[in-house]
Amino acid sequence: MVATLQKTDLVNLFDDTATAPERLAKRMAGAGLCSRREAETWINAGRVKVDGQLQLTPAITVTGDQRIEVDGKPLPMIDTPRLWRYYKPRGLVVSHKDEKERDNIFDTLKQQYGDNLPRLISVGRLDLDSEGLILLTNNGLLARYLELPATGWTRKYRVRVHGQVKAEHLKELGRGITVDGVKYRPVIASLDRQTNSNAWVDIALKEGKNREIRRLMEHFGYQVSRLIRTSFGPFTLNKLEDGDIAEVRPAILRDQLGLKPDRASDDSAATPQQARKRQKPHASHQRQKTRRNPNRT
């Protein structure tokens, strides 16, 4: 189960020499090939071999020196986990596959950067009509770890709603409410700006349910016209604008995860060629286009 992912597992993700045995599905997810659940399905379907032997159950432990094949192809090498900040535009789905065949962030990034980006996995999601910060990683286990409520990272949003926002409604959100039989935990909500027809509200929560903010606002009669995630834990939009992406420096990622510094992972200790490679793609390499300011009304 994802909930069993411990800090020691996280340390091993960043250790190229770590060869501790682990479950087959976990190894496949760590390689960024698929999710852990998808890996179990693929194994049950007879698509995976270990050392040339077909495996029909995910209840098998493997080590780093064993040969794993999926659909006849070697499992990709597990790269050192990396993390990107991405300003998700409105109108894009956060999914590799969509039954309605709507445009998604992964195809959009692939078209824009090609092989300059590895296969990416999102840390959580934002719905179609929401925008703002979403974290992307090349490592499935890191994504699961960052999604866990136990990680304790707060997500912050700016929300524009129609109408006059009442202070008592925001206080009620701070106590936690139940909407249509669904119990929502307390969230921190404060009024940022009020005009005659709409308002901007700042909201912070640690564990968000599907479309939670929209449902909470609509419960009080406030129709959401814009929803922007501004931060996820210690990572913020900063200067990112619509469609921009920037990699988090390895040393900063390790520090925010509470891991010991690794000089070799810091850009300051890398060759200019290595540093440039790590920094791409960055917001400064974006195509020229009209920008949208997330703070505008």
pLDDT: is 29 or 261 the higher one?
29
pLDDT: is 69 or 13 the higher one?
69
Q: Do 106 and 241 belong to one domain? A: yes
User: Cα–Cα distance between 128 and 252 in angstroms, integer?
Assistant: 30
pLDDT recorded at residue 19: 58
Per-residue pLDDT averaged across 8-16, rounded? 66
Model confidence, pTM = 0.74
Binned at pLDDT 50, 70 and 90, residue 69 comes out as very high
Residues spanned by the domain of 227: 154-232
Binned at pLDDT 50, 70 and 90, residue 76 comes out as confident
Q: Do 158 and 197 belong to one domain? A: yes
pLDDT: is 16 or 202 the higher one?
202
The question of whether 98 is a catalytic residue gets the answer no
Per-residue pLDDT averaged across 116-135, rounded? 93
User: Cα–Cα distance between 18 and 28 in angstroms, integer?
Assistant: 16
Whole-angstrom distance between the N-terminal and C-terminal Cα of the chain? Answer: 43
User: Cα–Cα distance between 290 and 212 in angstroms, integer?
Assistant: 31
pLDDT recorded at residue 266: 45
The CATH number assigned to the domain holding 197 equals 3.30.70.1560
User: Cα–Cα distance between 250 and 116 in angstroms, integer?
Assistant: 17
Question: What DSSP string runs through 224-248?
Answer: EEEEEEEEETTEE-TT--TT-EEEP
Query: 248-292: per-residue pLDDT in tens?
Result: 999 999 999 888 765 444 443 333 344 444 444 554 444 434 344
Number of domains forming the structure of the chain? 3
- HSE-CB of 2 using CA atoms within 13 angstroms: 17
Q: Do 228 and 188 belong to one domain? A: yes
User: Cα–Cα distance between 254 and 258 in angstroms, integer?
Assistant: 6
Query: 204-236: per-residue pLDDT in tens?
Result: 998 778 899 999 999 999 999 999 999 999 999
The CATH number assigned to the domain holding 35 equals 3.10.290.10
Of the residues 127, 242, 262, 266, only one is catalytic, namely 127
Question: Residue 179: enclosing H or E segment and its boundaries?
Answer: strand 177-179
Kindly state whether residue 296 falls inside one of the protein's structural domains.
Answer: no
pLDDT above 70: percentage of residues in the chain: 81
pLDDT recorded at residue 3: 41
pLDDT recorded at residue 277: 46
Q: Which of 217, 232, 247 is the endpoint of a domain?
A: 232
Please answer whether residues 5 and 145 qualify as being in contact, where contact means their C-beta atoms are separated by less than 8 angstroms. Answer: yes
Q: Do 141 and 161 belong to one domain? A: no
Query: 150-196: per-residue pLDDT in tens?
Result: 788 999 999 999 999 999 999 999 999 999 999 999 999 999 999 99
Q: Do 226 and 239 belong to one domain? A: no
Q: Do 109 and 67 belong to one domain? A: no
- Count other C-beta atoms under 10 Å from residue 180's C-beta: 6
